[in-house]
Amino acid sequence: MADLVRRADFTNSLVHLTRERKEMNKKTFKLELVASPFEVLKEILTAGTIRGGLGFVKGAQPVVCLSEIPLASMDEFAGPVDGSARYRFYGVALSKKAVFSAGGRPVIYIPDDEGEWIPDDQTWRQVRFDPPQVDWTHEREWRAPGDLDLTKVPGLYVIVWSSDEAKEIANLKCPVDSLIRAVLPMQHLNMML
């Protein structure tokens, strides 16, 4: 087996972070909170699957989005529920090898008008890049086509905000119980990183 890359700006894992789920109230026409990021994480673990979606994806292939962000840099990528960050400190971390084996690949950051060479069945990998107006490269994104079956990975880490939530996850009965290597409370890790 090849040696793993060891650099502060690099990681051998990928994270899938959650955020709150909101839905449009048909009476008020306002977005309302339906599930907190922690509830969404528990749904993922209980199902044993990260469901693919189509948001910001070219083509009709649903995908699961992940990031190469190192845990030590996660506070630049995620934030508390009351903040303005796009993602929250809730999710799962998986090895790149496991995601690659499931069909996951790094996205291709290029301008839309340069993507015609990408085969139709791979357009889900293209992300628009038009700096400085459109630049998502800080997300260091990977995508896996379809749903990601967590019961088929060799192991995973669960990311939560607090130690109380970590205890709740430790007691959660789900199909990936035996695959959870650790539950990482980011509130405490952020103080040390």
Q: How confident is the model at residue 70 (pLDDT cuts 50, 70, 90)?
A: confident
| Mean pLDDT, the chain, whole residue set | 90
What's the whole-number mean pLDDT along residues 125-144?
Answer: 91
With a cut of 60, say whether residue 1 has pLDDT above it.
no
With a cut of 80, say whether residue 168 has pLDDT above it.
yes
Indicate yes or no: pTM above 0.85. Answer: yes
Higher pLDDT, 188 or 66: 66
Q: How confident is the model at residue 28 (pLDDT cuts 50, 70, 90)?
A: confident
Query: 167: which 2 tokens?
Result: 């205890």
The answer to whether 110 and 43 are in contact (CB under 8 A) is no
pLDDT, residue 5, reads 67
Q: Cβ atoms within 10 A of the Cβ of 192, count?
A: 6
Higher pLDDT, 131 or 1: 131
> Whole-angstrom Cα distance, residue 70 to residue 1?
22
Higher pLDDT, 31 or 184: 184
With a cut of 80, say whether residue 157 has pLDDT above it.
yes
With a cut of 80, say whether residue 56 has pLDDT above it.
yes
The answer to whether 112 and 128 are in contact (CB under 8 A) is yes
pLDDT, residue 193, reads 64
What's the whole-number mean pLDDT along residues 182-190?
Answer: 87
The answer to whether 66 and 140 are in contact (CB under 8 A) is no
